[in-house]
Amino acid sequence: MSIARFWRETPRRYNLGGSKCTNCNTVYFPPRSVCPECTHHRQSIEKMVPFQLSGEGEVLSYTVVHEPAEGFEMLVPYVLALVRTTEGPVLTGQVVDIEPEGIRIGLKVRATFRKLREEGKAGVIHYGYKFAPAEEADTTPVARSPAEPAPEPREPTRARA
């Protein structure tokens, strides 16, 4: 990503700045200028307002990455999760401050801002959001006996962009 684009995206990277349709109250991240939820999209024109997400949510799904993308080799294994925020939007992010064995669907998390990457040896440091277990969350791995079946999968939900 170019430095110019990275700086243009600073409000949502650092502040989780989204948008909200005042017509139907749907919240979006990243921000949108038109609401696809309104029956006739024209209803939302000029009714989208900036909205600050709290950063709190819960893990909907996750994977443990063992074969990292370029630049993330030092982090493996790491957890990448889909997090439904309390306001509704689903965000993708790394879950930090927890061992991969402690992650589970339903884990309460909170956005935290951390270093994402660095461009070259003397380059620009890019920061952004990751997720960490909420203070009150129990991060003890859930032990299951081999005979115990895995939890039933949840019905898929439609993610809002």
- What does the alpha-carbon distance between residue 105 and residue 28 come to, in Å, rounded to a whole number? 22
Do 76 and 97 reside in the same domain of the chain? yes
pLDDT given for residue 153 in this prediction: 45
pLDDT given for residue 9 in this prediction: 57
Do 126 and 87 reside in the same domain of the chain? yes
pLDDT given for residue 147 in this prediction: 44
pLDDT given for residue 70 in this prediction: 81
Do 62 and 100 reside in the same domain of the chain? yes
Domain presence at residue 77: yes
Do 74 and 128 reside in the same domain of the chain? yes
Domain presence at residue 11: no
Do 43 and 110 reside in the same domain of the chain? no
pLDDT given for residue 2 in this prediction: 56
Do 98 and 79 reside in the same domain of the chain? yes
- Could you tell me the residue range of the domain that residue 22 belongs to? 17-52
- Please check whether residue 90 is in contact with residue 100, taking contact to mean a CB–CB distance below 8 angstroms: no
Specify the number of domains making up the chain: 2
Do 46 and 24 reside in the same domain of the chain? yes
Q: Is 92 helix (H, G, I), strand (E, B) or coil?
A: strand
Structure tokens at 58: 């819960």
Domain presence at residue 152: no
Q: How confident is the prediction along the chain (161 residues), in pLDDT tens digits per residue? A: 455 655 555 555 567 889 999 999 999 998 998 998 886 767 878 889 999 999 999 999 999 999 988 877 888 999 999 999 999 999 999 999 999 999 999 999 999 988 877 777 767 777 788 999 997 555 544 443 344 444 444 444 444 44
Domain presence at residue 157: no
Structure tokens at 105: 């669907």
Do 23 and 83 reside in the same domain of the chain? no
Do 62 and 25 reside in the same domain of the chain? no
Do 78 and 119 reside in the same domain of the chain? yes
